[in-house]
């Protein structure tokens, strides 16, 4: 039986067809599809830091045909050869993918993004199945999404968002200010709002060229109906979903081993109502991401 063409391959063929005349060479379409069949990169996962990208990471890794280490960051450069200058991602990737200095030199000694991912899969001891598809989970890609997606044509992308009140609280705690979060957020209010809005603009700016291969995922909705929304994410990427994937073990995910509604409103009782109102007002242009209890 012939191989069915996954959604991401169909998307790329459609992109090419729209930009070429009706006499576009069939041979070149076949070459593109074969390239995608060989290319290990099957999805991009990005979004706000602390918006659930690690949660998606761990659940995707439960699928037998998908794997990854932790964050990558390759696509922040103009070429894989630039990666050694991209801090802190270069050191973080080396550590979390358990690579040696020699491995790093080998992986990034190429101008091909596809070859770069092939070599990462080959050398990392975390990737057991050397024929598996892999995904690149790097939250900051959301900020540069248009440029990132240009480098990997046809690859689907899931963008994670979350209520700004929860995000800013998480960012403050992540910065080591668990005991003075309100003061820290107020002291860094303009910076946090700019961070939130610039990531949002990175997403919206990519929609014109790449909207058909971008899926938006709201963290809170996923927490309330995990099976429903994860099935949509897996289907978008071209994978089948099983509810057993909701249970996982992880040294990176710090909120347990499954999806939970416990973190829908972490700011309640921690941040003042006045500060919460100020955060919502400052991010009103993306009020569709403000989450309210039903």
| Buried b or exposed e, range 277-294, using 16+ CB within 10 angstroms | ebbeebbeebeebebeee
Q: What is the pLDDT of residue 226?
A: 95
Q: What dihedral do alpha carbons 10, 12, 15, 16 form, nearest 10°?
A: -110
CB 108 within 8 A of CB 128: no
| Cα dist from 292 to 185, 262, 279, 280, whole Å | 21, 14, 14, 11
| Mean pLDDT calculated for residue range 83-112 | 96
Query: Where does the pLDDT of residue 249 fall: very low under 50, low under 70, confident under 90, or very high at 90 and above?
Result: confident
- Residue 54 C-alpha from the chain's centroid: 9
CB 87, CB 209: distance < 8 Å: no
Does residue 247 register a pLDDT over 50?
Answer: yes
Q: What CATH fold (topology level) applies to the domain 7-289?
A: Rossmann fold (3.40.50)
Question: DSSP letter at 22?
Answer: T
Q: Which of 107-111, 164-168, 248-252, 273-277 has the lowest mean pLDDT?
A: 248-252
pLDDT of residue 148: 98
Instruction: Report CA dihedral (193, 197, 202, 208) to the nearest 10 degrees.
Output: 180
CA–CA separation, 114 vs 178, rounded Å?
Answer: 41
**Could you give the CA distance from residue 20 to residue 40 in angstroms, rounded to a whole number?**
26
């Amino acid at each position: 039986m012939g191989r069915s063409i996954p959604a991401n391959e169909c998307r790329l063929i459609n992109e090419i067809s729209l930009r070429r005349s009706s006499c576009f060479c069939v041979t070149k379409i076949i070459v593109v599809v074969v390239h995608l069949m060989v290319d290990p990169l099957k999805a991009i996962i990005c979004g706000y830091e602390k918006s659930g990208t690690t949660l998606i990471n761990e659940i995707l890794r439960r699928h037998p045909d998908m794997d990854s280490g932790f964050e990558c960051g390759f696509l922040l450069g103009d070429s894989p050869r630039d990666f050694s200058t991209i801090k802190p991602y270069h050191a973080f990737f080396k550590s979390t993918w358990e690579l040696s200095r020699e491995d790093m030199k080998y992986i990034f000694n190429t101008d091909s993004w596809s070859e770069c991912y092939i070599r990462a899969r080959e050398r990392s001891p975390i990737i057991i199945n050397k024929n598996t598809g892999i995904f690149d989970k790097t939250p900051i890609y959301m900020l540069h999404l248009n440029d990132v997606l240009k480098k990997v044509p046809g690859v689907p992308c899931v963008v994670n968002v979350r209520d700004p009140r929860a995000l800013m609280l998480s960012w403050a705690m992540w910065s080591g200010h668990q005991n003075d979060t309100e003061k820290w957020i107020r002291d860094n209010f303009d910076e946090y709002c700019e961070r939130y809005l610039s990531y949002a603009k990175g997403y919206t700016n990519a929609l014109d060229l790449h909207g058909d291969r971008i899926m938006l995922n709201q963290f809170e909705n996923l927490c309330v109906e995990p099976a429903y929304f994860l099935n949509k994410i897996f289907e978008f990427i071209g994978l089948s979903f099983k509810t057993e994937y909701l249970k996982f073990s992880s040294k990176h995910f710090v909120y347990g081993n499954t999806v939970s509604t416990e973190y829908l409103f972490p700011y309640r009782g921690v941040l003042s109502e006045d500060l919460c109102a100020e955060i919502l007002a400052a991010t009103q242009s993306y009020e569709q991401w403000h989450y309210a209890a039903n």
